[in-house]
Chain A
Amino acid sequence: MNWARLVFLTLLARPTARFLTGVDVIGREHLPTAGPAIIAANHASHVDTLLLLTIFPARLMGRLRPAAAADYFLRGPVIGWFSRNLVGIVPIERHAAKSPDGGHEDVLAPAREALAAGDIVIIFPEGTRGPGDDELGPMKSGVARLAASFPEAPVTPIWIEGAGRVLPKGAFLPAPMNCTVLAGAPIAWTGDRNTFLEALRKRLLELRQNAPPQRWLASDRPPDPPPSSAAGGPSAR
């Protein structure tokens, strides 16, 4: 295994994750103990990746491969080196899903290779970071296609609560706030993409139910109208 990566993960990433989030894990017994395996988690923040890379024992750290958008994580030589060698990403070409001749390019090929090599692929089925309110956005089919081609790899659903508050999309300064990682029992490939995605979604939402309320209050209700404008104003007629 890459020594720079082990040093980075154990001496820098793990203490950072502890300081920022407390790293509470519920259902640790459900985490895979060997590859090939797939981890499917909700996504609200880069902190999600930080947490998933640091909750495993050092023995498995070298096997962890987060699937990440190539256009974002390989956008420069420095970020690219960091993403490939320290984070250990498997790059996914988000915008090359269809080639000009109408056929499908296999964007999941790097993830399949990693699974074939016995790695644990971390995948965020929403495909991108959500708005950080700990809702589960629509899921893409990639996780199902991956599970279909490796039916022997268990798919462990993981709900991460609170990471969207530590470092929401667009924020620069992380705010220390406790997060909880909830792992559920692995899901077996159902033989069908839609039923598989439905089962995964249901399991993730069940995990969310058991999470402590480490989320913002909902502020979607429109503010009450000022009381004075209603009486006698133009709107009252």
Chain B
Amino acid sequence: MSGPSLQLQLPWIGPLPPIAWPLVWGFAGVLALLTAGAIAAWLMPRLRPGKDHTELRQRVNSWWVMVALISIALALGWQATLVLFAAVSFLALREYLSLAPAHREDRLVILASYLVVPISYGWIAINEYGIYLVFIPVYVFLTAPFLMAIAGQTRNYLQRAASFHWGQIACVYSIGFIVFLMRTPAGEPMPAGPAGLVFLLLVATEANDVAQYVWGKLFGRHKILPTVSPNKTWEGFLGGWVTTAALIWFIGPIFAPLAGLNLAIMAVVLPVAGFAGDVTMSAVKRDIGVKDTSHLIPGHGGILDRIDSLTFTAPLYFHLMTFFALHR
């Protein structure tokens, strides 16, 4: 890692991996935003009494928990980050498999599906990138329908096999790339270390969600996909796009080896991917007939509701970064 860094020492555990100063300032910025959110959640019921502001308060409170978990994991290093996102994948997969259309006989393939989480994250732990790339898209893809055939129920067989595989890619495969960022070789130029790469991805993705929501609330007039997501508007999409692109353009070089054309490509493409992930999950929820995938995160809904954009941005961000590194 280049540049100065913060070295923390924990009792029992010993020295932590060095934390780059930009990351410390980055998290300070996030904490400042959260504090502003908490003040807003405290002020709103006083300024506009009579309306129900519970959801805003719950939303902000949940953000505190999520930011705390992520910052602790990133500070502790790749192992803790792996455990955190493996847990996220498990919870997302459990939510998805509980709502996906399935027959009684699918209990076997559902039980086996959970094994994919430790095995897939296991490849990350032993740094087997090549095997990781083919494990879910090829071998889980082949094995799950075989288990379904053994179980013997052939009604809606193809639809069920396809929907199980969609869940594995969205909940496990895509999310795993976040952890693979933490395993970037130390020789690569990284202004804020591997954790800086993860930080930029998460901040840009979540900022995009928030910016789209705020632009849509303030100026939303023209519905963009009324049959899938009636609350989404062109104004929200475009406003969020420009806002997030500007954010990536200005803070991107602080946290990731991005400059010039590469930075511009990332700034333009990532917000669109976030929107696509959001809309895709909306279509899935509409098909199943639920508004939220669970009530795990107060004010947000289920974990799938929270990571919907990430299922698209994480692999794209990872692959763009890899491409830029190979063609430097």
B76 to nearest A CB, angstroms?
22
Contacts of B101 in A (CB 8 A): 217
A221 to nearest B CB, angstroms?
8
Contacts of B107 in A (CB 8 A): 165, 168, 171, 175
Contacts of B155 in A (CB 8 A): 217, 219, 221, 223
- Cβ of B110 within 8 Å of any chain A Cβ, yes or no, is yes
Name the segment of B21-29, B30-38, B255-263, B286-294 touching the other chain: B286-294
Name the segment of B43-51, B91-99, B199-207, B226-234 touching the other chain: B91-99
Q: Tell me whether A178 and B111 are in contact (CB under 8 A).
A: no
- Cα-based distance from A171 to B110 in the complex (angstroms): 14
B148 to nearest A CB, angstroms?
13
B288 to nearest A CB, angstroms?
6
- Cβ of A191 within 8 Å of any chain B Cβ, yes or no, is no
Q: Which of the listed residues B91, B98, B156 has the most CB atoms from chain A within 10 Å of its own CB? A: B98
Contacts of B156 in A (CB 8 A): 217
Contact with B along A60-71 (1 / 0, CB 8 A): 000000000000
Q: Tell me whether A212 and B111 are in contact (CB under 8 A).
A: no
Contacts of A133 in B (CB 8 A): 104
A219-B153 contact, Cβ under 8 Å, with A22-B296, A175-B110, A176-B114: yes
- Cα-based distance from A171 to B104 in the complex (angstroms): 12
Partner of A219 from B90, B103, B288, B290 at Cβ < 8 Å: B103
- Cα-based distance from A22 to B90 in the complex (angstroms): 11
| Chain B binding surface SS class | helix
- Cβ of B316 within 8 Å of any chain A Cβ, yes or no, is no
Q: Tell me whether A177 and B98 are in contact (CB under 8 A).
A: yes
Q: Tell me whether A216 and B296 are in contact (CB under 8 A).
A: no
Partner of B102 from A176, A179, A216 at Cβ < 8 Å: A216
Contacts of A214 in B (CB 8 A): 98-99
Q: Tell me whether B94 and A178 are in contact (CB under 8 A).
A: yes
Contact with B along A208-222 (1 / 0, CB 8 A): 000011101101010
- Cβ of B221 within 8 Å of any chain A Cβ, yes or no, is no
Size bracket, chain B contacts: 20 to 34
Q: Tell me whether A178 and B102 are in contact (CB under 8 A).
A: no
Q: Tell me whether A216 and B294 are in contact (CB under 8 A).
A: no
Q: Tell me whether A176 and B99 are in contact (CB under 8 A).
A: no
Q: Tell me whether A22 and B103 are in contact (CB under 8 A).
A: no
Q: Tell me whether B103 and A177 are in contact (CB under 8 A).
A: no
A24-B290 contact, Cβ under 8 Å, with A177-B97, A213-B99, A219-B104: no
A213-B289 contact, Cβ under 8 Å, with A22-B294, A219-B104: yes
- Cβ of A88 within 8 Å of any chain B Cβ, yes or no, is no
Q: Tell me whether A212 and B290 are in contact (CB under 8 A).
A: yes
7 A-B pairs with the lowest CB-CB distances in the bound complex, closest first: A178-B98, A177-B98, A216-B104, A24-B295, A175-B111, A214-B98, A212-B290
> CB within 8 Å of B: which residues of A?
22, 24-26, 133, 162, 165, 168, 171, 173, 175-179, 212-214, 216-217, 219, 221, 223
Provide 30 A-B residue pairs closer than 8 Å at the C-beta atoms, listed in order of the A residue.
Answer: A22-B95, A22-B98, A22-B294, A22-B296, A25-B295, A133-B104, A165-B107, A168-B107, A171-B107, A173-B111, A175-B110, A175-B114, A176-B90, A176-B94, A177-B97, A177-B98, A177-B110, A178-B99, A179-B98, A212-B99, A213-B288, A213-B290, A216-B103, A217-B101, A217-B103, A219-B103, A219-B104, A219-B153, A219-B155, A223-B154
